[in-house]
Amino acid sequence: MRALLLYLMSLFMALTHVYALPGLQKREAPFDQVRTRLNRHFQDAEEDEPDKYFHEATFHQHYDGRFGDKQLKYEERASHLSALIQTYFSTMNDIGAETWIMHGTLLGWYWNREILPWDTDLDVMVSERTLYHLAGYYNMTMHHYHIPGLDTARDYMLEVNAHYSDNGIDSSNQIDARWIDTETGLFIDITALRRNHTAEEARAEDEADAMMVKDKHHYLYDDIFPLRHSTFADAPVKIPFAYPDILTEEYGEEALSKVFYEHHRFDLGKEEWKTLRFSELHGSSGLSRNTSYWGMRLPLKHG
């Protein structure tokens, strides 16, 4: 608790007020109810998926078109994503919500406790009990923060999918909730970890503690709990207990050792991802767009 208070003081992040918007609906909240600076929305409302709750922007799948109208530049995005994760965990800690980072966000934590520079969204998970608590008391609430490094105060909206209580696999509603930056449209995907009732009904001994997520990921209880305390993007966070096994299962062993990916190279000395220079992509490094290594992780070099 003391560490959390020191962190909040050091960031000078002040949650000034929280207010609620209209509650659960079959589709995401209409633009007119949540509009901020935009005169029109840029949502890709797919008519062929009438039961889908969350829709993405027409210009990029990792933006909410009710709030954003364009992609942020590479050099701008990192600070906004960092603010997203900082405000999210600050809010969840304040309300006592059980949550932890997962997927590509966890992979970024593994490398250097930072967001992967090519990432455009963030992923967290919550317990099923926490999801019901958020849906019952915090859905459509707006959270106001003053954040160092950003020119103006920001409002972040917590929106829960109306289908959050459905326990089965649902390709249209894999995301149970989102934490959304209402200035840029960037968001955090929130999914709930649930009991795998199908496995329980089968009474398989090795599936006694089977857990699942709507996006078809499966875990054992001991893969996740007890949660570990750590830091990520300068915020106190929690991570799953068996994170090496989880990352290896999802991304393969190479993801934990390869130092080239998405036009970046991991600097082992500085422990940070660097954008590859032109000479490294063409010529001296032997890499070019025509090689099989373009956009792939390369073997870790020792010595």
> pLDDT (tens digit, 9 = 90+) per residue, 13-43?
444 455 555 444 554 555 445 555 545 454 6
- The whole-angstrom distance between residue 89's C-alpha and the CA centroid of its chain comes to 11
Three-state DSSP state, 255: helix
Mean pLDDT of the chain: 81
Q: CA separation (Å) from 27 to 30, 48, 249, 269?
A: 8, 14, 33, 48
CB 245 within 8 A of CB 239: no
User: Residue 263 above 70 pLDDT?
Assistant: yes
Q: Calculate Rg over the CA atoms of the chain.
A: 20
What average pLDDT score do residues 99-109 get? 98
What average pLDDT score do residues 38-58 get? 66
- The whole-angstrom distance between residue 236's C-alpha and the CA centroid of its chain comes to 15
What average pLDDT score do residues 208-226 get? 92
CB 13 within 8 A of CB 87: yes
Range name among 10-24, 212-226, 228-242 with the lowest pLDDT average: 10-24
More confident residue, 294 or 163: 163
What average pLDDT score do residues 199-218 get? 74
**pLDDT category of residue 12 using cuts at 50, 70 and 90:** very low
Residue 64's pLDDT is what?
86
Picking from 205, 233, 211, the residue whose alpha carbon sits closest to that of residue 224 is 211
Range name among 224-228, 273-277, 280-284 with the lowest pLDDT average: 280-284
Residue 152's pLDDT is what?
82
CA–CA dist 88, 156 (Å, integer):
8
CB 250 within 8 A of CB 242: no
CA–CA dist 296, 303 (Å, integer):
21
**Residue 76 is inside which H or E element, if any?**
helix 74-95
What average pLDDT score do residues 139-144 get? 96
Residue 10's pLDDT is what?
46
More confident residue, 50 or 135: 135
Residue 303's pLDDT is what?
27
Residue 6's pLDDT is what?
47
User: Residue 289 above 60 pLDDT?
Assistant: no
Residue 86's pLDDT is what?
97
Q: 273: which strand partners?
A: 266
What average pLDDT score do residues 220-225 get? 97
User: Residue 8 above 80 pLDDT?
Assistant: no
Residue 47's pLDDT is what?
54
**Residue 126 is inside which H or E element, if any?**
strand 122-127
Three-state DSSP state, 7: helix
pTM value is: 0.81
More confident residue, 147 or 174: 174
Please name the residue ranges forming H helices in 213-270. 221-224, 243-251
CB 7 within 8 A of CB 235: yes
Q: Which long-range contacts does 248-257 make (Cβ < 8 Å, 24+ apart)?
A: 250/103, 250/217, 251/107, 254/297, 255/107, 255/297, 256/110, 257/299, 257/300
CB 125 within 8 A of CB 213: yes
Residue 103's pLDDT is what?
98
